[in-house]
Amino acid sequence: MTRILKNLRFELIDEGHAIAEKIPSFLIECLVWNVPDEDLRLDDLGGAVRNTLAYLWNNTCTDATCGDWTEVNNVKFLFRETQGWKRTDVNSFLQLCWDFIGCQ
């Protein structure tokens, strides 16, 4: 799933979507790491992508729903002022991904 979202990010950058440039590869890895296993373990890859994007988008809408997410090392919080990214940019990126691949 991480590789799919990273490739999608590169496609969006190639198409000129500036928000995709604000989302580093490591952040994508961390986001996917915070997705529940049941959303990732589907036989239908398209369904797994939709579930992953939906989970991430829904939970990055507010600080309260992703405030305890951590990096893959489980040491540093993912969304704090010391990080080089913003939750709102992540949420916008996820919406763009959803729209770009035509999820409904």
Residue 12: enclosing H or E segment and its boundaries? Answer: helix 2-14
pTM for the full model? Answer: 0.93
pLDDT for the residue 28: 98
pLDDT for the residue 35: 96
Nearest 5°: phi and psi at 60? -105, 10
pLDDT at 103 over 80: no
- Distance CA(85)–CA(35), nearest Å, equals 19
Torsion of CA 59, 60, 65, 70, to 10 degrees: 100
pLDDT in tens, 26-84: 999 999 999 999 888 878 888 899 999 999 999 999 999 999 999 999 999 999 999 99
Residue range 6-34: mean pLDDT, rounded: 97
Joined tokens for residue 2: 């991480």
pLDDT for the residue 104: 59
Domain boundaries, the chain: 2-100
